[in-house]
């Protein structure tokens, strides 16, 4: 009976460690998703601005020269 309890305690400790690692990984992924969403929204806004002709936010290097 003591062996069974010891094995169960080891399994619980292992599972707690695994859950902690998964939780940390999930937190990192959520932070990365948040950053990517912000970048996507910025790109989407920039594309929309270009489509409606509002080029105020465009860097001069991105504009075509006048002879094009």
Task: Quote the DSSP letter at residue 59.
Answer: -
Our separate counts of H helices and E strands in the chain read: 1, 0
Could you tell me if 37 and 45 are in contact, meaning their C-beta atoms sit under 8 angstroms apart?
A: no
Is the whole-model pTM more than 0.85?
Answer: no
Task: Specify the higher pLDDT residue, 68 or 67.
Answer: 67
Tokens (6 digits) for 33 = 């998703």
pLDDT band at 55 (very low <50, low <70, confident <90, very high): low
Helix residue ranges, H only, the chain: 2-51
Domain boundaries along the sequence of the chain: 2-53
pLDDT band at 44 (very low <50, low <70, confident <90, very high): very high
Question: What is the three-class DSSP state of 61?
Answer: helix
């Amino acid at each position: 009976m003591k062996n069974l309890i010891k094995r169960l305690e080891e399994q619980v400790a292992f599972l707690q460690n695994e859950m902690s690692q998964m939780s940390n990984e999930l937190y990192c992924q959520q932070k990365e998703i948040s950053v990517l969403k912000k970048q996507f929204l910025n790109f989407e806004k920039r594309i929309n601005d270009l489509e409606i002709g509002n080029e105020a936010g465009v860097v001069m290097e991105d504009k075509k020269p006048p002879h094009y």
